[in-house]
Amino acid sequence: MIDRLRDRAEYGNRDEAEAARLLRSVGPAVAPAAVEQRVLGSLGGPRRIGPRAMRVATVASVPVVATAVLAATLAVMFGRDARPRHSQSPAAQPSVSSRLAVASPLPLAVDDVRAPAKAALPDRTASQLEPIAEPITPQPKASPGNRRQQAIASRSHATPTTDSTSSMEAPGSPAPSSDSDSAEARAAAAPAEEASIVLAALRALRRSHDPVRAGALVSRYLESFPQGALVQEATAVAIEASLARGDREFAARLAKEYLGRYPSGRFVPLARKAVAGPRP
Amino acid sequence: MQVDDKGRSPEPKRPDLDRPLAFETVYRAYFRQVVGWMRAMNVPPADMEDAAQEVFLVVRRKLPRFHDENLAGWLYRIADLTARNYRRLAWFKHLFARDPVDQTMDPWPMTASPAISLEQKEDHRTLFRMMARMSAKRRETLILFEIEGYSGQEIAALQGVPIKTVWTRLHHARRDLMEMVASSRRRHDREVGKP
- Residue in chain A closest to B112 (alpha carbons) equals A27
Determine whether the interchain pair A36/B57 forms a contact, defined as Cβ–Cβ distance below 8 Å. no
**Measured distance CA(A110)–CA(A173) in Å, rounded:** 12
ipTM over the 0.95 cut-off: no
- Residue in chain A closest to B8 (alpha carbons) equals A27
**Measured distance CA(B116)–CA(B143) in Å, rounded:** 20
Residues of A with Cβ-Cβ distance to B164 under 8 angstroms: none
Return the closest-CA partner of residue B72 out of B142, B21, B108.
B21
Among A11-15, A182-186, B144-148, top mean pLDDT goes to B144-148
Nearest to A25 among B35, B108, B123 (CB): B123
Write down all domains in chain A, each with its CATH number in brackets: 119-130+174-280 (1.25.40)
Q: Percent of chain B scored above 70 by pLDDT?
A: 74
| Host H or E run for residue B33 | helix B23-40
Q: Percent of chain A scored above 70 by pLDDT?
A: 55
Amino acid type, A158: A
**pLDDT digit string (tens) for A44-87?**
755 555 566 677 788 888 889 999 998 888 888 776 544 444 44
pLDDT of A50: 57
Nearest to B32 among A7, A29, A47 (CB): A29
Query: Smallest CA–CA separation between B195 and chain A, in Å?
Result: 16
Say which range, A73-82, A131-140, A154-163, has the weakest mean pLDDT: A154-163
pLDDT of B15: 62
CA B83 to chain centre: 10
- Residue in chain B closest to A4 (alpha carbons) equals B146
pLDDT of B143: 93
| DSSP calls for B105-158 | S-SS--SS-S---HHHHHHHHHHHHHHTTS-HHHHHHHIIIIIS---HHHHHHH
Assess whether pLDDT exceeds 70 at residue A261. Answer: yes
**pLDDT digit string (tens) for B55-83?**
999 999 888 888 877 889 999 999 999 99
pLDDT of B160: 92
Query: Smallest CA–CA separation between B98 and chain A, in Å?
Result: 25
Whether B3 contacts chain A with CB within 8 A:
yes
pLDDT of B96: 61
**Measured distance CA(A239)–CA(A253) in Å, rounded:** 9
Determine whether the interchain pair A22/B39 forms a contact, defined as Cβ–Cβ distance below 8 Å. no
Backbone angles phi, psi at B85, to 5 degrees: -60, -40
Query: Smallest CA–CA separation between A57 and chain B, in Å?
Result: 18
**pLDDT digit string (tens) for B112-160?**
455 556 777 788 888 888 988 899 999 999 999 999 999 999 999 999 9
Return the closest-CA partner of residue A129 out of A191, A220, A18.
A220
Assess whether pLDDT exceeds 80 at residue B12. Answer: no
Determine whether the interchain pair A28/B181 forms a contact, defined as Cβ–Cβ distance below 8 Å. no
Determine whether the interchain pair B85/A31 forms a contact, defined as Cβ–Cβ distance below 8 Å. no
Residues of B with Cβ-Cβ distance to A33 under 8 angstroms: none
Nearest to A29 among B39, B152, B181 (CB): B39
**CB count, 10 Å around CB of A159?**
12
pLDDT of A28: 83
| B28-40 burial: b if 16+ Cβ within 10 Å, else e | ebbbbbbbbbbbb
- Residue in chain B closest to A5 (alpha carbons) equals B146
| Choice between A18 and A177, residue whose per-residue pLDDT is larger | A18
Query: Smallest CA–CA separation between B138 and chain A, in Å?
Result: 15
**Measured distance CA(A86)–CA(A66) in Å, rounded:** 28
**pLDDT digit string (tens) for A106-133?**
443 433 333 333 333 444 444 444 444 4
Among A9-18, A95-104, B87-96, top mean pLDDT goes to A9-18
**Measured distance CA(B149)–CA(B11) in Å, rounded:** 6
Q: Percent of chain A scored above 90 by pLDDT?
A: 2
Nearest to B57 among A23, A27, A43 (CB): A43
Q: Is the dihedral of CA A122, A127, A130, A134 positive or negative?
A: positive
pLDDT of B161: 93
Instruction: Report the mean per-residue pLDDT for chain A.
Output: 67
- Residue in chain B closest to A8 (alpha carbons) equals B146
Burial (Cβ within 10 Å: 0-12, 13-18, ≥19) of residue B13:
exposed
**Measured distance CA(A128)–CA(B123) in Å, rounded:** 115
Query: Smallest CA–CA separation between B47 and chain A, in Å?
Result: 13
| Choice between B86 and A163, residue whose per-residue pLDDT is larger | B86
Assess whether pLDDT exceeds 70 at residue A279. Answer: no
Assess whether pLDDT exceeds 60 at residue B89. Answer: yes
Return the closest-CA partner of residue B55 out of B68, B64, B46, B33.
B33
Task: Tell me the C-alpha to C-alpha distance, in Å, between residue B55 and each of A17, A127, B42, B61.
Answer: 37, 90, 15, 10
pTM score above 0.80 = no
Mean per-residue pLDDT, A136-150: 43
Return the closest-CA partner of residue B72 out of B33, B24, B36, B20.
B33
Residues of A with Cβ-Cβ distance to B58 under 8 angstroms: 50
**pLDDT digit string (tens) for A265-278?**
888 888 888 888 77
Predicted confidence band of residue B16 (pLDDT cuts 50, 70, 90):
low
**Architecture of the domain made up of B23-192:** Up-down Bundle (1.20)
Nearest to A4 among B35, B48, B145 (CB): B145
Predicted confidence band of residue A190 (pLDDT cuts 50, 70, 90):
low
- Contact between A112 and A264 (Cβ < 8 Å): yes
Say which range, A41-55, A187-201, A227-241, has the weakest mean pLDDT: A41-55
pLDDT of B163: 94
Whole-angstrom distance between the N-terminal and C-terminal Cα of chain A? 128
